Amino acid sequence: MKNVGTFLFLIVLVSTAARADVPPDPGYQRHSANLVLEPATDLSGFRFFLDSPAEIEEVKISGEGPTVISASGRAGASRFGRLIAIPAREYEQFGSRLSEEELSQALREKKLFKPTELLSHNFQTTIPQGASYQDPVYRLEKDEHSGLRAVLISGGQSGSQVISFGINDLSRSWNPGIAIIAGILLMCGITILGIWYFRRSPKHP
């Protein structure tokens, strides 16, 4: 079931990437969105990773002052990311021996580690033409349950109507052509998933 969940998660990401690669509707414009992180507690006990469909990268967060993760050079699937915190002790025990692909799978399936997903971010946003936009600023602080949490303190989407879809914020304007493409991708994913399931099922006499 974990493999099924991971597969469906990737299908959603492909669909959102297809939507995001299409030019914005008239009256809207694309805008780069850096990610700004401000520590409000000692973070030395954690390692941080930005997990996207294209790659996984470690993020070094400054102990003093804000850390800016730039949107520059993040195209295609790399524009989507989940900021994940891992206890440093766990990473030192397992993570250093894993490849990038194995580490990403372990994070998604919550194997080996006890990861905390702090936030999801799209490094490219769509805003009305002429509207102002400020990069989102998150404060990283202690949490009683998960150990750490990210709180949006300023910036981000303001004044524009958006809906949440997977890890990406999409405009309410939905192009029918893109809906068809996303539907085709989803159907292909379901078909592949069905073939995979029946091939793994035990054969009956």
Domain ranges of the chain: 26-173
Q: Which residues contact 176 (CB under 8 A, 6 or more apart)?
A: none
Find the helix packing angle between 176-200 and 2-20, rounded to 10°. Answer: 160
What distance in Å separates the CA atoms of residue 14 and residue 186, rounded to the nearest whole number?
Answer: 9
Tokens found for residue 39: 């520590």
Predicted model pTM = 0.66
CA-wise closest residue to 51 among 114, 106, 111: 106
Q: Which residues contact 55 (CB under 8 A, 6 or more apart)?
A: 78, 100
What distance in Å separates the CA atoms of residue 37 and residue 143, rounded to the nearest whole number?
Answer: 16
148, 140 Cβ separation under 8 angstroms: yes
Per-residue pLDDT of the chain (205 residues; tens, 9 = 90+): 545 444 444 454 454 444 455 677 888 888 999 999 999 999 999 999 999 888 889 999 988 889 999 999 888 888 899 999 999 998 888 877 888 888 888 888 887 888 899 999 999 998 898 888 999 999 999 998 888 999 999 998 643 333 333 333 333 333 444 445 556 666 666 777 666 656 655 544 4
DSSP 38-72: EESS--TTEEEEEE-SS-EEEE---SSS-EEE--T
Find the helix packing angle between 2-20 and 100-109, rounded to 10°. Answer: 110
User: Is residue 39 classed exposed, middle or buried when 0-12, 13-18 and 19+ CB atoms within 10 A define those classes?
Assistant: middle
